[in-house]
Amino acid sequence: MTGPLWVDVEAAEYPSLAGDIEVDVAIVGGGLTGVGAAWTLRESKLRVALLEERTLGSGASGRNGGFVLAGPAMSYCDAVSKCGAEAAREVWQLTVENNRLMAELIDQHSIDCGFLRGGSLSLAVDEEELMILQRCRDALDEAQISTAMLARDELPVPFDRMYLGGIYYPGNAEMNSGAFVRGMGHAVRQSTLIFERTTVRGLSHDGRWVLETSGGTIRADSVILATNAYTGRLLPAVPLTPTRGQVVATAPLDRVIVPFPIYANYGYQYWRQTVEGRLVVGGWRDIDLLTEVGTEERANTLILKHLEDFVRAVAGDVPIEYRWSGIMAFTPDEFPLVGAVPDNRGLFIAAGYSGHGVSMAFTCGGLAAQMALGQSPVIPKVFHPGRQLEAAALDVGRGPHRGELQ
Ligand SMILES: Cc1cc2nc3c(=O)[nH]c(=O)nc-3n(C[C@H](O)[C@H](O)[C@H](O)COP(=O)(O)OP(=O)(O)OC[C@H]3O[C@@H](n4cnc5c(N)ncnc54)[C@H](O)[C@@H]3O)c2cc1C
């Protein structure tokens, strides 16, 4: 099949907008970020609309690998070198809290999304990566974050033949984040006007925000852009590089090949096995980096072949039932943009998770929503949109240099 394993992206559950409406807050985009914003606004008594061009979870949130990894998009020691130990630790804490909250909501709303917390393993493909992992281990130790370094002979079979060693992170998890988005859609449907198959085509301001959509005009006091890789269509100056990733999934297998989510080669390769036993393999974007920039969702056959070869190498000749691609958004420094868009009163953004949004986006959407409520939430300084939007012209065009899961 071509299409993600996680959700039926063609199945709409909510109406399209038909006519003009007035709301207090308009959320554009129905992925993890959008439902995170809607969830935060649920008790505000404000009139809130969530507008989704396709269906809830049909963007990256329903097309990813489902790794729920604490920490920033880059490796922890990279984050410490870039922004200091304190800021790296703050980002770590945000993701840990995000993952705790998602687990609580999954329980509370009985969302069937295969959430499993069994830890994860980051493997070294060569000596250089092994040294980096050791440095990260030291930085994590200093931050009193518990991990374990595994030598090659301690790795699960058959990965001990392919990689040199790695770090085990006991707190990490895996899930179907598309199903989580749909579940949270149900959880907020009483407090949010949800419109699917409704494209926001243009954004202007005449005292209030005016959103021209495929189904009518919306006037709103505040707008939250939860449009991740597609934000540039509404806010052209935004320094987000849309970047494609591909994933394949096998039929359910009757044996455990991967005990917990594993990733390697600086985050460019990743695989896990779902609760139904399907082996899910994604990444390998580094073999064709330039082709993978842009918003076109057509899968790259060269990369698919590498994913399928990997499936065969570790699981033998098993049927591959799903093949799909999705679009991520990278920022130049690989920290997301979360908060007020400078010089645009009432316009907020949460986007650019640089391939790592499962453990951030729900909370970041919530932080943008808190700002729309006039609150002043604590947002890591390294996430402030001003750092890049003001200097956008300098940074546009500098592409990502590492894989999605580090
Ligand atoms: C192949 C792949 C693998 C990944 N693997 C992982 C992983 O294992 N772990 C991890 O942490 N992260 C992973 N990610 C990244 C993660 O999925 C994203 O960071 C996260 O889902 C972003 O959520 P979002 O809600 O901001 O964006 P999306 O889920 O992309 O949602 C944005 C939504 O906005 C809608 N939209 C856009 N423009 C408009 C408009 N003008 N009008 C109306 N609607 C609009 C889109 O249709 C879309 O549904 C992966 C991503 C991909 C593509």
Query: What does 363-380 look like in DSSP terms, one character per residue?
Result: HHHHHHHHHHTT------
18 burial type by CB count under 10 A (0-12 exposed, 13-18 middle, 19+ buried): exposed
| pLDDT of amino acid 217 | 98
Q: How far does residue 46's CA lie from ligand 1's centre (Å)?
A: 26
- Assess whether pLDDT exceeds 60 at residue 401: no
The residue nearest atom 51 of ligand 1, judged by CA position, is: 64
For residue 395, the model assigns a pLDDT of 32
- Separation between Cα atoms, residue 359 and residue 117, nearest integer Å: 13
pTM value is 0.95
3 state SS of 171: coil
Residue to probe by mutation, ligand 1, list 54, 324, 328, most atoms within 8 Å of CB: 328
Give distance in angstroms: CA of 13 to centre of ligand 1.
19
**Percent of the chain topping pLDDT 90:** 91
Q: How confident is the model at residue 388 (pLDDT cuts 50, 70, 90)?
A: confident
Report the C-alpha gap between 325 and 376 in whole angstroms: 37
Query: β-strand 347-351 against 216-225: which pairing, if any?
Result: parallel
Across the range 50-55, mean pLDDT stands at: 98
Mean pLDDT for 61-75 is 97
> Per-residue pLDDT tens for 126-172?
999 999 999 999 999 999 999 999 999 999 999 999 999 999 999 99
pLDDT (tens digit, 9 = 90+) per residue, 334-348? 999 999 999 899 999
Site to probe by mutation for ligand 1, drawn from 7, 64, 293 as the one with most ligand atoms within 8 Å of Cβ, is: 64
pLDDT exceeds 80 at position 46: yes
CA of 282 to the centre of ligand 1 (A): 15
Pocket probe for ligand 1: among 39, 115, 230, the residue whose CB has the most ligand atoms within 8 Å is 230
* Contact call for residues 395 and 332 (beta carbons, < 8 A): yes
pLDDT at res. 98: 98
The whole-number pLDDT of residue 50 equals 98
Q: Which two tokens stand for residue 300?
A: 């790259």
Whole-angstrom Cα distance, residue 138 to residue 143?
9
Whole-number Å distance between alpha carbons of 88 and 84: 6
Residue nearest ligand 1's atom 35 by CA: 29
Atom 32 of ligand 1, nearest CA residue: 227
Which residue type sits at 221? D
Residue 33 CA, closest ligand 1 atom number: 25
Which atom of ligand 1 is nearest to 198's Cα? 43
Of ligand 1's listed atoms, the one at least distance from the Cα of 32 is 25
Average pLDDT over residues 265-279: 96
pLDDT tens column, 187-213? 999 999 999 999 999 999 999 999 999
- Dump pLDDT digits (tens) for 296-318: 898 899 999 999 999 999 999 99
Ligand 1 mutation pick, 5, 9, 52, max ligand atoms within 8 A of CB:
52
Closest ligand 1 atom to 360 CA: 11
| Distance from Cα 162 to the centre of ligand 1, integer Å | 31
Question: Are 115 and 174 within 8 A, CB to CB?
Answer: yes
Element (H, E) at 320: strand 320-330
CA of 271 to the centre of ligand 1 (A): 19
| pLDDT at residue 390, rounded to an integer | 65
**Nearest protein Cα to ligand 1, atom 49:** 59
Q: Which H/E stretch holds residue 107?
A: helix 85-108
Please give all residues whose beta carbon lies within 6 A of any atom in ligand 1, as ranges. Answer: 28-34, 51-54, 58-61, 63-67, 69, 199-200, 226-230, 233-234, 245, 247, 282, 326-328, 351, 353, 355-359, 361, 404-405
- The alpha carbon of 138 and the centre of ligand 1 are apart by a number of angstroms equal to 32
Mean pLDDT to the nearest integer, 369-381: 97
